[in-house]
Structure 1
């Protein structure tokens, strides 16, 4: 095997021509052989870590939503390992185990630091990839520019409330502000948009929840996206090719990237602990589940048909974006990366007190440099 090269300047997340079927099958076989070998080694050691880099890499591939997206992943993986995907490679673990292990770990760390950590941290923080990383990613995907987003949260919330009929799409809780207005206007005869009486219901203030975080395309003070955010958008295409164009610029704040939720459920959804699974054959219908302990969200699991406006003047939540949110939820849970990120974010909150010497300090600083520490979105 060739000496493992640095990831700097190697990761390729573009959309070149698709792999041939035989090439894809061989690449997938080699990929699983490498990753599974080190995962089995990890388990055999008797102290399997709560967070497994090898599972993170495996599940990121497994939850890619199409063959073209899997091709992007496989090309990036093998380029980072300094292998020519067109030639093929049969790993020799007796000779190359150490360098192979280091290569997979480095690839996992790149995905963790530049995608999963930023998205999970959302409006808080994220690491910044080097210019060399970014140049390779851009080389593979072409000159597509990501236009900085504008502040459109207030109008987005109003649109989602209209589309979702002033109810949380998960718990069906009615919006408190709208309830007060209708009860003042119509008294005991006040009704919801379906003609049901409101009197006797419990109400809560509802919020707009982005399916993919608003901060993902939030510009800096110069009106530009950081290299870190550009890289995260490129990596996003591994899940569904060219999906980043759906959320470019102001599109991040369009109704198809948002749903109406209660404050508590919004927190869980934003943490990728609540997810939507499309019901086959039923348009805009989802089974909604969570990775939370039973009873934390009493409404779950539940199957909901999402409301649509009669004239379709307000876009429904995008099935593509909900599928990506679901994929990220599963990867974070199954690999243990979600718990590892929680620890980093807790350390970030503790900086200046007991965690001054935390091993996550470098990641925390990188998160801030990446521009993920902006002010939280206010409803």
Structure 2
């Protein structure tokens, strides 16, 4: 499947009413048949990855409009069919799947899972690896309007606003910012306090160097000059399209300089920032507003100094 061109990839046609029930049923049938037969590939289970992603997106029609044409194209290299009204009957006619069909569709599912990894998870992970941190000197220039200011000053403003919002503490460990603590000690002496009026000298060496971490990577929406036009580069276009399936209203949230707003950033210990950027920490919403269960993806790790477990934290947004 080719990647659509333009600043922002247009949405595929909506699923027709007559296909609304058929597409999810066929998807569930394929997944339930092939998931028990799968083997781990490249460190993950491909069919399980597809199922979990479909369960998490809010735009299931968009996901199915990506899934079924991909399978159709893989089964028939000459096909660029995107109309589910034509694709679904063909796939449905193959059930119950023969040994040959098992191999063919099974291979399609592996390719689709690899497609998701290569065009969404891996690029997003690479983009999220690090948020550039402003130098302390640059913070003094961040008091004026965001209009027309450069990226460095926006990040400086973002750091300042996130520290104030999160009360100068890592939202996971609750450790106070070491640099802010040093400034307050210099100004107020041994009775220097945190934002809630508690004595900071009692925390001693428990303070940490804090950084601002983007949730949706800052560079995801940076345009590239392509043939004289400012466009999203191809690797970002598909990542953006899949990301939009999770939240169809994502454009006004991250468009332009809004990607550098506090609603898209966290205050983290610099070590946890690295784990977060590598997709090794998960925030699982537990039903309460802005409250999450925080843990490592691999919960049996023993070599890290941050013990997370089932800790729940309030995120100030």
TM-score, normalized by length of structure 1? 0.64
Structure 2: which 5+ runs fail to align?
73-80, 130-149
- How far residue 96 of structure 1 moved from its aligned partner, in angstroms, is 3.2
**Quick check: 1:283 aligned with 2:279?**
no
1:1-379 mapped onto 2 (5 Å cutoff): 7-8=1-2, 14=11, 16-17=13-14, 20=17, 23-43=19-39, 50-64=43-57, 66=58, 69-82=59-72, 84-86=83-85, 88-89=88-89, 90=92, 91-92=94-95, 93-94=97-98, 96-122=101-127, 150-151=151-152, 152-201=154-203, 202-220=206-224, 224-280=231-287, 282-292=288-298, 293=300, 296=304, 297-307=306-316, 316=317
- How far residue 150 of structure 1 moved from its aligned partner, in angstroms, is 4.1
- How far residue 18 of structure 1 moved from its aligned partner, in angstroms, is 5.8
Structure 1: which 5+ runs fail to align?
1-6, 125-148, 308-315, 317-379
Q: Any idea what SS the aligned residue of 2:85 has? A: coil
- How far residue 99 of structure 1 moved from its aligned partner, in angstroms, is 3.4
- How far residue 30 of structure 1 moved from its aligned partner, in angstroms, is 1.0
Alpha-carbon separation, structure 2, partners of 1:105 and 1:279: 31
Q: Say if 2:295 and 2:308, in contact at 8 Å, map to a contact too.
A: no
TM-score, normalized by length of structure 2? 0.75
Change (3 A) 1:118 1:170: same
Say which structure, 1 or 2, has more relative contact order (CA 8 Å, 6+ apart): 1
- How far residue 16 of structure 1 moved from its aligned partner, in angstroms, is 4.2
Q: Say if 1:13 and 1:76, in contact at 8 Å, map to a contact too.
A: no
Give the structure with higher Rg (CA): 2
Q: Say if 2:128 and 2:277, in contact at 8 Å, map to a contact too.
A: no
- How far residue 9 of structure 1 moved from its aligned partner, in angstroms, is 6.3
Alpha-carbon separation, structure 1, partners of 2:31 and 2:211: 41
Which position in structure 1 is the counterpart of 2:147?
A: none
Change (3 A) 1:35 1:283: closer
- How far residue 71 of structure 1 moved from its aligned partner, in angstroms, is 1.0
Give the root-mean-square deviation of aligned CA atoms: 2.9
- How far residue 194 of structure 1 moved from its aligned partner, in angstroms, is 0.8
Alpha-carbon separation, structure 2, partners of 1:34 and 1:260: 42
Change (3 A) 1:162 1:48: closer
Count residues in correspondence.
270
- How far residue 278 of structure 1 moved from its aligned partner, in angstroms, is 2.6
Which position in structure 2 is the counterpart of 1:325?
A: none
